Structure 1
Amino acid sequence: IATMRGRYDALKNEIMKHEKLFNLMRPLPFNSGYFMSFELCESKSDEYQKELLEKDGIGVISLFGKYVRIAFSSVDKSCMPDLVEMIYARAKAFFGSDRK
């Protein structure tokens, strides 16, 4: 349980460092050590999912056209900073960083 809690805390802390980008991808509330989701600023989750996989090697699940779900249960907590940075960097490139 401590390992799961460590991953959860690490992910949540890293996401909060990107609060200025919540207009592109807003994290939805989560409290588990397995999955979390983002609501995207546009209904393009399939396209965003494809870009993340092809350009960054990160697999996410596209849901309902507007959400992506991340399974972080197997990601080492030391990798959370890089994971979150790459996810938000791709969102900036994909949606545009000047979006309000």
Structure 2
Amino acid sequence: MDKVAIALAISLLAAGAEAQTRPSTVNMPCGASRQLVFTRGAIVLGTGGMTYDRFVRDATFCDVTEYAQSAYVPSIETPICFVGYRCKQGPRDLWDD
């Protein structure tokens, strides 16, 4: 009986972890999303519906094979809000943002 209780507790913990929501840019002012990225350095934010991405404060939060590209997301007051950067794979293109 104890094994069943332990298994149930573990499955409930796992389900709770899956149910956690990430902050969504569409529900916040632009400045609040930008501040989250700045203070955390790197964070995953929802960008509407089931979409999300990882945003970083600067290139130091990217892997050595990546570069930082400017990132814009929708917010509660504007469809184009600069929040920081996304890490992109590969060499930086001279014409890339």
| Interval of TM-score (by shorter of Structure 1 and Structure 2) | under 0.3
TM-score, normalising length: structure 1: 0.24
Q: Which one has more relative contact order, counting CA pairs under 8 Å at least 6 apart? A: 1
Q: TM-score when scaled to structure 2?
A: 0.25
More helix by share: 1
